């Protein structure tokens, strides 16, 4: 392939096709193939590379703490009481298509973030937009945007609205102010029946009400979340950090 053709392919952002063609030219098995077969192989290779790059970009943009969690590596230990059938069904992404939510509950260290991340990575594999955020960081972002006079608050809410799967960690770990609860209501309302959210909490929904700063706002938030959510409770006689930390490995 001459330099001018190569340049045009790069200009059209088809670098993966250039690399695939170069690989074909050095592969003796490709020399006896027909033009159509070689072209199909070229397109398949370039397409796979593009999809792989897209997946890598989606995972990076999601902002996960770690990308190690996987649905295939979940520990279904007896004392955790995890519903494997439910988790497998959720991993298919059907709840996102149906705009339902997931509430993952359990004590600190029981693997809530790990499971949420595994589900988030599965959503990325389905080429959906995912965002992981801790509630304190989310509230800080909204507060800073609210104090700006350039309309950033509405823009950041709109950005969060467009995310297919939002994972909110450390959900209601501490009590919220009236302003913070109002922020959450705004966000939940914009995403309602359009997208999906995973809430990771140490508390059951019945314990959320007192943490939301205002009875009426709390009612509105709970009504929008609880009735459209799957619930996963992670038990465990030991935290996962204790099981697999240095002390647990000894």
Q: Is the pLDDT of residue 220 over 80?
A: yes
Confidence of residue 238 (pLDDT cuts 50, 70, 90): low
Q: Which string of DSSP letters, residue by residue, matches 21-86?
A: HHHHHT-HHHHTS-HHHHHHHHHHHHHHHHHHHHHHHHHHHHT-S-S---GGG----GGG---HHH
Domain check: are 114 and 160 in the same one? yes
Which structural domain, as residue segments, surrounds residue 45? 3-62
Domain check: are 91 and 198 in the same one? yes
Domain check: are 18 and 136 in the same one? no
Domain check: are 141 and 195 in the same one? yes
Cα gap 149→74, rounded to integer Å: 46
Tokens 């490995």 correspond to 249
Last residue of a domain, one of 62, 86, 112: 62
Tokens 């102010």 correspond to 177
Last residue of a domain, one of 15, 38, 62: 62
Does residue 232 or residue 5 have the better pLDDT? 232
Q: Which two tokens stand for residue 38?
A: 């070689």
The domain that holds 220 is classified in CATH as 3.40.50.300
Question: pTM for this one?
Answer: 0.89
Q: Quick one: what percent of the chain has pLDDT higher than 90?
A: 73
Domain check: are 185 and 121 in the same one? yes
Domain check: are 46 and 77 in the same one? no
Domain check: are 139 and 29 in the same one? no
Domain check: are 154 and 208 in the same one? yes
Confidence of residue 148 (pLDDT cuts 50, 70, 90): confident
Q: Radius of gyration (Cα) for the chain, nearest Å?
A: 23
- At residue 239, the pLDDT reads 67
**In terms of residues, how long is the chain?**
250
Dihedral sign of CA atoms 93, 97, 100, 101 in order? positive
Domain check: are 183 and 227 in the same one? yes
Confidence of residue 250 (pLDDT cuts 50, 70, 90): very low
Last residue of a domain, one of 40, 62, 84: 62
Domain check: are 47 and 104 in the same one? no
Total domains present in the chain:
2
**Helix H or strand E encompassing 134:** strand 130-134
Q: Is the pLDDT of residue 1 over 80?
A: no
Domain check: are 220 and 243 in the same one? yes
Domain check: are 207 and 112 in the same one? yes
Segment 193-211 shows an average pLDDT of: 97
- At residue 249, the pLDDT reads 42
């Amino acid at each position: 392939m001459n330099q001018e053709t190569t340049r045009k392919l790069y200009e059209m952002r088809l670098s993966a096709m250039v690399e695939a063609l170069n690989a074909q030219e050095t592969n003796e098995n490709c020399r006896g193939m027909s033009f159509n077969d070689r072209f199909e192989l070229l397109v398949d290779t370039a397409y796979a590379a593009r999809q792989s790059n897209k997946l890598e970009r989606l995972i990076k943009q999601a902002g996960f703490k770690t990308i190690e969690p996987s649905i295939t590596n979940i520990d279904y230990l007896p004392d955790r009481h995890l519903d494997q059938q439910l988790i497998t069904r959720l991993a298919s992404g059907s709840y996102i298509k149906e705009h339902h939510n997931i509430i993952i509950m359990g004590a600190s260290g029981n693997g809530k973030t790990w499971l949420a991340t595994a589900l988030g990575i599965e959503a990325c594999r389905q080429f959906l937009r995912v965002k992981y955020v801790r509630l304190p960081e989310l509230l800080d972002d909204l507060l800073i945007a609210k104090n700006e006079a350039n309309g950033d608050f509405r823009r950041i809410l709109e950005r969060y609205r467009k995310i297919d799967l939002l994972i909110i960690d450390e959900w209601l770990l501490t009590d919220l102010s009236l302003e913070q609860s109002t922020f959450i209501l705004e966000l939940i309302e914009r995403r309602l029946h359009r997208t999906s959210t995973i809430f990771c909490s140490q508390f059951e929904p019945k314990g959320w009400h007192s943490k939301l700063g205002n009875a009426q706002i709390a009612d509105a938030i709970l009504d929008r979340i609880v009735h459209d959510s799957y619930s996963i409770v992670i038990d465990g006689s030991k935290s996962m950090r204790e099981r697999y930390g240095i002390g647990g490995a000894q």
